[in-house]
Structure 1
Amino acid sequence: MFVDVAKIYIKAGDGGHGAVSFRREKYVPFGGPDGGDGGRGGDVVFVVDPGLRTLLDFRYKKKYNASPGESGGASNRFGKDGEDLVIKVPPGTVIKDAETNRIIADLKDEKDKAIVAKGGRGGRGNAKFATPTRQAPNFAEPGMPGEEKWIVLELKLIADVGLIGFPNVGKSTILSMVTGAKPKIANYHFTTLTPNLGVVDLAGVKSFVLADIPGLIEGAHEGAGLGIDFLRHIERTRVLIHVIDVSGIEGRDPVEDFYQINDELKLYNEKLASKPQIIAANKTDIPGSEENIEKLKSEMDKLGLKVFSISAATNQGLKELIQYAAKVLEETPAQEEEIQEWYTPEEKKFTYEIRKADDGAYEIIGSFVDRLLLSVNIYDTESLKYFHKVLEKRGIIEELKMMGIQDGDLVRMNDFEFEFVE
């Protein structure tokens, strides 16, 4: 089975919490704080595995989690970092953010890899909060959460030359004749439901990778037939061999077929239609094809495109076609794809909101509040001083004053409540 699109959820590891600990030894009755820092959470890393050809594995497993960091310990012991989660994908995999559809990474080559979700930083232990005036901090910092997101994996085949054309024009037969590939071949439309790759290895021809792209039809750029699912595979090819049935046995006009396929390429991506094209007039062994061949050659001459009369079934003209394709390929430099919309990760911010509750209390809610309450010990005097200092530095005290808070008014932060005192 060939699977070239998959949507999965990934989550990097959370950072470990900092520890609250004090040095307690027989002859050191008043030892200072010695809580260690938490470990960093593991990243989610994608790497290219040249042995893979599809995204099939991602159809059955949808969620991937990296290991969290361990919490810190006593005696300034740092928590162990979480292990990175390494996910292998085939060459040619594009990773997109599912929400914005912007590209996070484009993994083309064997050594390519990308960190797609970063692990959270470990929290600081109470030893880091000791100061000359705060000598016994009874609080520590929680670990930062790891990044998490839904992503889309898209596989674009890495091929030098692509065979394009309507269904049942002989693309698979050409591939089977000039490479070692064994695609399914039959005389009905859409025999090829998945792209096939083969390596051309003919005497006197520099080897290259040839792809048989499933047949396109009118409306392919909008997803008709097998359209968009396979148009993406043409994007990475450098040269296109446009296979056209000139036998006339299906009542088709070869010139109209040429323009219709090229219209679909333009509508999907203008650059596809501008790639070098070689015309392969196939099924010339069928009687009555002569008139269509001449008609096609006359039209292609106007466009400056070379036409090869071939019969894939009898191997007629294939060597000349492939030799010319290799020559054009050598003259066509590889071009870097212009990716317009790269994904930019948002800076992790802890936010809050202040609102007046029905009972007159001032409620402060949000991720900033959740994190702050995790880091303080509300039953410890030193910890509460640190808590008040953070509120001042963040501008929350000033904001409460601007909202009209008075001495004695109640402030509520989740389940923690206290009276405001100027």
Structure 2
Amino acid sequence: MFADRAKILIRSGKGGDGHVSFRRELYVPNGGPDGGDGGRGGDVIFEVDEGLNTLQDYRHKRKYAARDGEAGGKRRCHGADAEDIILKVPEGTVVKEAESGKVIADMSGDNRRQIILKGGRGGLGNQHYATATMQVPKYAQPGQPSRELWVTLELKVIADVGLVGFPNVGKSTFLSRVTNARPKIANYHFTTLNPNLGVVDLPDGKGFVIADIPGLIEGASEGVGLGHEFLRHIERTKLMIHIVDAAGTEGRDPVEDIYKINAELEAYNPDIAGRPQIIAANKIDVIFQDGEDPIARLKAEFEPKGIPIYPISGATGAGIRELLYAVAEKLKETDQAPVVFAQEYFPEEELIYENLPYTVKPEDGVYVVEGPKIEKMLGYTNLDSEKGFAFFQKFLKDTGILEELEAAGIQEGDTVRMYGLQFDYYK
């Protein structure tokens, strides 16, 4: 079974805890703090593997977790960093946050490797908290917690041209004739259960990649038949070849077929429906001139709308050369940049605002802010950078900590302490 969709749970590694210890050496009666830092937790990384073409492996295993970092030790020993977990996926895989459906990463184009969840940073040992007024710190920073996220993986094939049309209109036969693809072909509906890719080689380097999108029928965008399972595969295509049975061998009207399929594309994604389209009027070898000319009718209906008609026969090869050159010329006019889906969900920012408790209380003239939310934010934020400091200020405002401080009576110039961080408050 071709697997182009999967849902998995990913988890980064927890950072190792910092250590609390003090030097215990002969002739050193008042040894200072020497607790070591914890190691970094493992990242969750997605990487493109050229040898894969399905998501089958992710149908059997649903949970993937990186290892936790090692705790720090005495004598300033640093805990070992954990190994990252690398998840291999085929090119074209889009990673989405499961609940919202927002894109986290598109593993295509230049993006061959991306960190999706960062491991927790190791906690600082108590050696870092010694000050002139606190020479025996008995506090060490815990390692930052792991992050957990349900994601969906969707494989959207990478092709320049998509073949669309009702089942049994000759898409697979056409693809096998013009490319190196060898799809299984038989005379019944839903013959093609997998998206078939092939490369069209034309002189002067005008080749392109073409994909046969299977199972598209009326109602596909609403989940009827198999079409909704495969519509995602035309989201990257720049142009559509709409193959229609011009001879009406199964009693269907070719003009109505085109309108029905285009309605499904519009319902699924209006952007796709608006892309350039060329109609391939197939099976001209079995058209019998005993009534209205179906090719003339198709041209009269669609060419005024800017959609060219090319009569072809997948069985005999008639008209296919002209069609392929027309497609190559049309592709030259389109945007050559690959279709890549932009990131919409940023785990680094989204997961830090989890509903974790915190407290704000005055102690000896210092306003102490504590809680797992604060520790988590400090562990993931580089306050030495301009961007990190701006994020820190936004965090204080968005989480209501500034309001809590003002409600507690803080004045400009008063001191705020958040674990190892201490600063003066100014509006």
Q: Which TM-score band applies after superposition, normalised by the shorter structure?
A: 0.7 to 0.9
Q: Give the C-alpha shift of residue 272 in structure 1.
A: 1.0
Residue of structure 2 in register with 1:269 after alignment: 269
Deviation at 1:205, TM superposition (A): 6.0
For the residue of structure 2 that corresponds to 1:298, the secondary structure is helix
Q: Structure 1 residues 33, 367: CA separation in 2 closer, same or farther (over 3 Å shift)?
A: closer
Match of 1:303 among 293, 302, 305: 305
Residue 111 to residue 336, structure 1, CA distance change in 2 (3 Å):
closer
Question: Where do residues 58-73 of structure 1 align in structure 2 (5 Å cutoff)?
Answer: 58-73=58-73
**1:342 equivalenced with 2:344 (yes/no):** yes
Corresponding residue for 1:249? 249
Q: What's 2:318 paired with?
A: 316
2:83 maps to 83
Partner of 1:149: 149
1:294 aligns to what? 296
Q: Deviation at 1:155? A: 0.8
Kept in 2, the 8 Å contact 1:248–1:288? The answer is no
- SS for the counterpart of 1:121 is coil
1:16–1:71 CA contact under 8 A, matched in 2: yes
**Aligned 8 A contact 1:95 1:103 in 2:** yes
**Residue in 2 aligned with 1:167?**
167
* Contact kept? 2:121, 2:143, Cα under 8 Å: yes
The alpha-carbon deviation at position 192 of structure 1 amounts to: 0.4
Structure-to-structure mapping, 1:274-285, within 5 angstroms: 274-285=274-285
Aligned equivalent of 2:220: 220
Name structure 1 gaps, 5 residues minimum: 355-365, 372-392, 401-422
**TM-superposed deviation, 1:249:** 1.8
Aligned partners of 1:17, 1:395: CA distance in 2, in Å? Answer: 31
AA aligned opposite 1:172? S
Deviations 1:225-269 (A, max 9, x none): 112211111110011110000122211111111111111111111
**How far did 1:144 drift?**
1.0
Match in the other structure for 2:118? 118
Please state how far the C-alpha of 1:48 moved relative to its aligned partner: 1.7
- SS of 1:285's partner is helix
Higher mean C-alpha deviation, range 95-104 or range 330-339: 330-339
**Aligned residues with identical type, % of pairs:** 56
- 1:351 matched to which residue of 2? 356
What CA distance in whole angstroms lies between the structure 1 residues aligned with 2:135 and 2:153?
A: 52
Shift of 1:353: 7.9
- Structure 1 pair 67/96, CA: closer, same or farther in 2 (3 Å)? same
TM superposition shift of 1:204: 5.3
Kept in 2, the 8 Å contact 1:168–1:215? The answer is no
Q: Secondary structure at the match of 1:265?
A: helix
Alpha carbons 1:48, 1:110 under 8 Å: kept: no
Aligned to 2:385: none
Q: How high is the TM-score relative to the length of structure 2?
A: 0.80
The CA distance in 1 between the partners of 2:374 and 2:43, in whole Å, is 26
Deviation track 1:375-405 (CA, whole Å, cap 9, x = no partner) reads xxxxxxxxxxxxxxxxxx99999999xxxxx
CA shift at 1:100, angstroms?
A: 1.6
State the distance in 1 between where 2:405 and 2:179 align: 74
For the residues of structure 1 that align with 2:317 and 2:340, how far apart are their CA atoms?
38
Matched-pair contact (CA < 8 Å) for 1:238–1:275: yes
Q: List, as ranges, runs of 4+ consecutive aligned residues in structure 1 with deviation greater than 4 Å.
A: 335-341, 366-371, 393-400
Corresponding position of 2:393: none
The residue identity in structure 2 corresponding to 1:319 is R
Per-residue deviation, residues 107-136 of structure 1 (Å, max 9, x unmatched)? 212543222111111111111122223222
Residue 211 (1) aligns with residue 201 (2): no
Instruction: Verify: 1:330 aligned to 2:336, yes or no.
Output: no
8 Å CA contact 1:242, 1:279 repeated in 2: yes
- Correspondence for 2:29: 29
Cα distance change, pair 350–250 in 1 and its aligned pair in 2 (3 A)? closer
SS in 2 for 1:347: helix
| CA displacement, residues 134-156 of structure 1 (integer Å, 9 cap, x when unaligned) | 22223322111121111001111
Q: CA deviation at 1:285?
A: 0.7
Query: 2:395: which partner in 1?
Result: none
Structure 2 CA distance for partners of 1:396 and 1:302, relative to 1, 3 Å: closer
Distance 2:167 2:297 in 1: 21
Residue 304 of structure 1, CA deviation: 2.2
1:357 aligns with none
SS at match of 2:228: helix
Question: Partners of 2:375 and 2:329 in 1: how far apart?
Answer: 65
Deviation at 1:349?
5.3
Contact kept in structure 1, 2:105 and 2:343, CA below 8 Å = no
Secondary structure of the residue that 1:296 maps to in structure 2?
helix
Q: Find the aligned partners of 2:300 and 2:403 in 1 and give their Cα distance.
A: 77
In 2, Cα distance between equivalents of 1:181 and 1:29: 79
Check 1:12–1:306 CA distance in 2 against 1; reply closer, same or farther (3 A cut): same
Distance 1:209 1:369, change over 3 A: closer
Matches of 1:295 and 1:395, distance apart in 2: 71
Q: Measure, in 2, the Cα distance between the counterparts of 1:202 and 1:368.
A: 60
8 Å CA contact 1:48–1:109 kept in 2: the answer is no
Letter in 1 for 2:172: S
Q: Which amino acid aligns with 2:59?
A: R
Relative to structure 1, the CA distance from residue 107 to residue 191 in structure 2 (aligned partners, 3 Å threshold; closer, same or farther) is: same
Higher alpha-carbon Rg: 1
**Are residues 163 and 139 of structure 1, via their aligned partners in 2, closer, same or farther at CA, if it must alter by over 3 Å?**
same
User: Shift of the alpha carbon at 1:291?
Assistant: 2.1
**Once the 2 structures are TM-superposed, how far is the Cα of residue 67 of structure 1 from its aligned partner?**
1.7
Q: Structure 1 residues 301 and 399 mapped into 2: Cα distance closer, same or farther (>3 Å)? A: closer
**Kept after mapping to 2: 8 A contact 1:70/1:82:** yes
State how far apart, in whole Å, the 2-side matches of 1:121 and 1:293 are: 67
TM-score by length of structure 1 reads: 0.81
Give the letter aligned to residue 330 of structure 2: V
> Distance between the aligned counterparts of 1:370 and 1:263, measured in 2?
52
**Superposed CA offset, 1:290-344 (max 9, x none):** 7222211221222122211111012222121111111111221135658688114
Q: 1:350 to 1:133 in 2, by over 3 A?
A: farther
Aligned partner of 2:107 in structure 1 is: 107
The residue type paired with residue 128 of structure 2 is K
